[in-house]
Structure 1
């Protein structure tokens, strides 16, 4: 499973972007693609057409008929996906990205059922139960039995937050 951080343009300039941690720690397993409303990334469209791709997105906001809620026992469910798209943006931007991108709307959605509250407090106006990009990556790694990598991402996030 590889992670595609579909990143809003504004996120590239934010010093609080936690997606950078995943990209630095997992260079073989993650990539950044910049979201563009008018001109979608050609590689992303190709992956969606030819691969098994899921989108991390909460069920209550999803229009997809295919929805998975991840829990501790989700390893087999994650094996269905070659790529997992994580929207690297604020929650408000993430909703706009999905609403303005028909190619994302039909993807199976993956909701992370996290057993803890987010520790990411560098931004305001987060949705309840929402996780930052690095936390999403860490939880997906954990549910995929990649415990050490998950721990590395969370430890790096903790250091990032306390700076």
Structure 2
């Protein structure tokens, strides 16, 4: 299976994938998809490529993806979509026995206020926060909230554990460098729209859906809506390619994304 060069320069997840492929001892073959040429920019077969629809929305918020070993190789991975849309997206492969010094440098960068995005029910209460910097109360009850309230000029950096649920729990428990940071616990009201992998629970959101919620909490409404729309179009193309169905380029999903891209370009 050959790969066609992407239209855009490689972003953080793309570079991480390339590095992972170089370490592979045998070719990675995605399950369920047709064989043939794939686009290096969107990982889809050429007839369903959506690179020309890619929206780029600069934001004050940033993302730091900690990715499980094989996650970058999966064509259905949605951390890739976050890096497509949000320029300030960094990605690092996770390993229990070693930590990338570049990751530690990012976490120590004074411009950022890191938040580990993880369910609060699995975390000590004193670490859990439900508000971002601008919303933190001056009289915050916990140490984590007080620290966030004391640094109002920092940019939010959302640390997302891009992995299966069991892998994400392992990453969270075995990454001591995450201990100094507050844990942002989300309470999403919507059910997941993600259709590319099976989950036993409809309230388990994919990585891009979590990122969109984080952007909304940070006041990045345009970016949140754009990422959601881009995820919907990507999922549509992915499933149509898998089922060998032509893309409906003028449907409501594509029109919504086009409108958001136009708005984003106007505001740049």
| TM-score, length of structure 2 as denominator length | 0.54
Report the CA distance between 1:76 and its aligned residue.
2.4
Structure 2: state its 5+ residue gaps: 1-60, 137-147, 238-268
CA distance in structure 2 between the aligned counterparts of 1:63 and 1:134, rounded to whole angstroms: 26
Report which stretch shifted further, 4-13 or 58-67: 58-67
2:81 corresponds, among 18, 21, 29, to 21
1:161 corresponds, among 235, 243, 261, to 235
CA distance in structure 1 between the aligned counterparts of 2:83 and 2:93, rounded to whole angstroms: 13
CA distance in structure 1 between the aligned counterparts of 2:161 and 2:155, rounded to whole angstroms: 16
| CA pair 42-126 structure 1, distance change in 2 beyond 3 A | farther
By relative contact order (CA 8 Å, sep 6+), the higher-ranking structure is 1
**3-state secondary structure, aligned to 1:65:** helix
Report the CA distance between 1:36 and its aligned residue.
1.6
Report which stretch shifted further, 125-134 or 95-104: 125-134
Tell me the alpha carbon deviations over residues 93-136 of structure 1, each in whole angstroms, 9 at most, x when there is no partner: 10111122122244210011112111112222355522111111
Aligned: 1:48 with 2:136: no
Report the CA distance between 1:5 and its aligned residue.
1.0
**3-state secondary structure, aligned to 1:162:** helix
The root-mean-square deviation of aligned C-alpha atoms, in Å, is 2.3
Q: What are the residue-to-residue correspondences of 1:2-13 with 2, within 5 Å?
A: 2-13=62-73
CA distance in structure 2 between the aligned counterparts of 1:38 and 1:102, rounded to whole angstroms: 11
| TM-score, length of structure 1 as denominator length | 0.85
After superposing on structure 2, the runs of 4+ consecutive aligned residues of structure 1 that deviate more than 6 Å are none
CA distance in structure 2 between the aligned counterparts of 1:109 and 1:81, rounded to whole angstroms: 16
**3-state secondary structure, aligned to 2:70:** helix
**3-state secondary structure, aligned to 2:130:** strand
Residue 30 of structure 1 is matched in structure 2 by 89
Residue 146 of structure 1 is matched in structure 2 by 220
Q: 2:62–2:86: 8 Å Cα contact kept in structure 1?
A: no
2:118 corresponds, among 41, 57, 61, to 57
CA distance in structure 1 between the aligned counterparts of 2:222 and 2:156, rounded to whole angstroms: 20
Aligned residues: 160
Residue 42 of structure 2 is matched in structure 1 by none
Which protein is richer in strand relative to its size? Answer: 1
CA distance in structure 1 between the aligned counterparts of 2:102 and 2:200, rounded to whole angstroms: 30
CA distance in structure 2 between the aligned counterparts of 1:159 and 1:131, rounded to whole angstroms: 17
